[in-house]
Structure 1
Amino acid sequence: MRPVLIFALIGVIFMFGAPYVLQLFTIINLTTAIALAVLALSLALVWGFGGILCFGQVAFFGLGAYAYTMGAINFGGSTWAILLAIAVSSAFAAILGYFVFFGRVSDVYLGVITLTVTLIFFSLIRRTSGPDFKIGIAQIGGFNGVTSPPLNLPWDTSAFLFPEQVFYVAMAALILCYIFCGWLVNTHFGRVCVGIRENELRAELLGYDSRLYKLGIFTISAGIAAIGGVLFCNGVGRITPDVFNLYNAALTIIWVIVGGRGTLIGPVAATFGLFYLTSALGGQSTLNNNLVLGIILIFFVLLVPKGVAPTIIDWTARRRKPRRVSRRARRPRSEGRSA
């Protein structure tokens, strides 16, 4: 838990220092990157510690964004809309997870099912153009999407937050989600989930119902992804069905693979790095973004399979080990001399 608090402290320092150093356009882009980092964190939790490869994590991300937008338009404010977004994504994940986990669906089919659900959302929402398709007074907008109402102060629905203030909210949400995930994986629940990931049969023989634990971490990760969706539509200003497309689903997997499964800070850092890499590549026409991301994925799968963060941790541990051994070897000699 100590490393989690250290990285969280670094995040707090960055949160208060960045607006004084960076320009407004960079801050707005950072808000979008932070939202995607929350999405990566949710997948890092459910895949890295729960052993559940969810190809459709963006389904909960996009569902949270749409639920927030529809709720904010109908409620006339963002406070209850945020809670609605988390509740809708978590409830949908709980229902889907119940049939998947209690139906003993294998990991491969689980990935296919979650990806299929994501593509269903993508196709379905694109067909909701026209005034007849609406939820309450909010039109869904079809492939054009819908403008998302900005965040407001909880006690004043007319006091909307400026982009710099939204950045503070986004960073605070990322830090709190990161601390929560770090705490969760160190609880009894988290350790059981890791045990199920390593050997599900052995965990069940010890008396743990793997279905309940999988359902629990799956639902929690969906709620975290929904928070990312809320931040995303506030950073971009609108939400479209493209959030559910195959590119975003694959990109989330790449973030976790590059950052490193079994860690929380790795996928978050990889999200920021790859976000700005793809943004830089978008300003030129020589290299294709998909080609570069494909090369990065192949490179890490073949040469750095553990990801960046675990590789750095292992390298640091190997460098410290000889020093510890040499110190232990010197202790008897020094004790002999003093005697």
Structure 2
Amino acid sequence: MQKLNEMRVALICAVIAAAGVIAAPYYIDLFQIMQLTVFAAMAVLALSLGFIWGYGGILSFGQTSFFGLGAYAYAVAAINFGDSTGAIVMAILIPVIFAALLGYFMIYGGVSDVYLGVITLTVSLILFNLVNSTAGDFYKIGDARLGGFNGMPAIPTFNMPGDPGYILSPEQAWTVTGLALIVVYIGLRVLIASTFGRIIIAIRENETRAALLGYDPRFYKLLTFMIGGAIAGFAGALYVNWGAFVSPTIFALGLSAQIIIWVIIGGRGTLIGPVIGCLLMQWMVTAIGGQQALDANFILGAILIVFVLLVPKGIAPTVVDLVKSRLPKAKSDTANSNAKVKA
């Protein structure tokens, strides 16, 4: 019953958020809409790590691998297909296949959690150097030149499905990206509430016990890893659509660290936490970038230290704990007031 009530609340909040997304272009100027679009795309990326780490217990330092692969897959497919619909499919499919292959060798190979993080980080660095070395006309897929360190400019952005000539405006692109964030969030909530979700949480808590109950931890961890890769790849497509440009920096180590910071600050073991952490930190970085007095990386590092020391659970779990701690007192006060009235 509690889970059902929580899901109802989540759905109500999602409907309200969707209404806000649709109404935003009527009240916010174009510059702010563009900022919100990239924030929402990165929040989808944060959800990918929030899911596999917070619920699957898999700490991946290389979510940028799937993010970058999704971005490049979208760019190459959009240029060759001339349509964004098939490009979005490729942006999800390529990272899923890569996650399946990489995850199979790591998870079924018995790689421990620490080394799994190191391997995923190394893969991101390899992809960064690999794509960075693709300058020249020789490195192209179909009509799409990879561009090396210069990146791929003038990438076709989202169009109306089935009508490549109808290119979405920035306001429409924001609506698509904002609603995509909500759909991914609700989809993950439903998945976690399902039998699959309960199994991966059980494996996270005690892998040996789950295996004794008849579940194969390797199989479920691999599926979790693949789902995280699919979401990160989708986020890459959303990101490329925002700027119509992609470069090897999308695989950079700095972004990998930022994703982990978003999840830690927002709260691991929740879905809304990574979204809050991402939106808050992205807003702060943007605000700090508008002045020259403070270094953004210094501020991010200081905030991370403060949260690790003072708010180790993150924002979302801490707020929930505070609310729950107040509820018994509120119920007790209400009961005492009712007793006095009856007396």
Q: What TM bracket, shorter-length normalisation?
A: over 0.9
For the pair 1:45 / 2:54, whether they are aligned, the reply is no
For the pair 1:158 / 2:165, whether they are aligned, the reply is yes
On the 8 A contact 1:40/1:271 being kept in 2, the answer is yes
Q: Distance in 2 between matches of 1:32 and 1:205?
A: 44
1:221 to 202, 225, 228: 228
> How many pairs align?
336
Q: Could you tell me which amino acid in structure 2 is paired with residue 48 of structure 1?
A: G
SS at match of 1:274: helix
1:304 to 292, 297, 311: 311
1:78 to 78, 84, 87: 84
Q: Could you tell me which amino acid in structure 1 is paired with residue 151 of structure 2?
A: G
What residue is the counterpart of 1:287 in the other structure? Answer: 294
Q: Deviations over 1:81-116 (max 9, x none)?
A: 110110001111011111111111100000001111
SS at match of 1:159: strand
Deviation of 1:327 (Å)? 5.1
Q: Could you tell me which amino acid in structure 2 is paired with residue 200 of structure 1?
A: E
What residue is the counterpart of 1:20 in the other structure? Answer: 26
On the 8 A contact 1:29/1:235 being kept in 2, the answer is no
Deviation of 1:14 (Å)? 1.6
Q: CA RMSD in A?
A: 1.5
What residue is the counterpart of 1:173 in the other structure? Answer: 180
On the 8 A contact 1:58/1:243 being kept in 2, the answer is yes
What residue is the counterpart of 1:250 in the other structure? Answer: 257
For the pair 1:141 / 2:147, whether they are aligned, the reply is yes
For the pair 1:274 / 2:281, whether they are aligned, the reply is yes
What residue is the counterpart of 1:239 in the other structure? Answer: 246
> Unaligned stretches of 5+ in structure 1?
none
SS at match of 2:193: coil
Does 324-333 or 314-323 show the bigger shift?
324-333
1:188 to 187, 195, 199: 195
TM-score, scaled relative to structure 2? 0.95
Deviation of 1:159 (Å)? 1.2
What residue is the counterpart of 2:40 in the other structure? Answer: 34
Q: Distance in 2 between matches of 1:208 and 1:333?
A: 54
SS at match of 2:53: helix
1:69 to 62, 72, 75: 75
What residue is the counterpart of 1:101 in the other structure? Answer: 107
Deviation of 1:144 (Å)? 0.7
Q: In the superposition, relative to structure 1, how do residues 333 and 159 fare at CA in structure 2: closer, same or farther (>3 Å)?
A: closer
On the 8 A contact 1:146/1:240 being kept in 2, the answer is yes
Deviation of 1:18 (Å)? 1.0
What residue is the counterpart of 1:122 in the other structure? Answer: 128
Does 9-18 or 268-277 show the bigger shift?
9-18
What residue is the counterpart of 1:319 in the other structure? Answer: 326
Q: Distance in 2 between matches of 1:330 and 1:192?
A: 44
1:212 to 219, 239, 249: 219
What residue is the counterpart of 1:7 in the other structure? Answer: 13
Q: Distance in 2 between matches of 1:107 and 1:81?
A: 33
TM-score, scaled relative to structure 1? 0.96
Deviation of 1:333 (Å)? 8.6
> Unaligned stretches of 5+ in structure 2?
1-6
Q: Deviations over 1:264-315 (max 9, x none)?
A: 1111122111111101111111111110000111111111010000000000
Q: Distance in 2 between matches of 1:330 and 1:144?
A: 70
Does 219-228 or 5-14 show the bigger shift?
5-14
SS at match of 1:158: strand
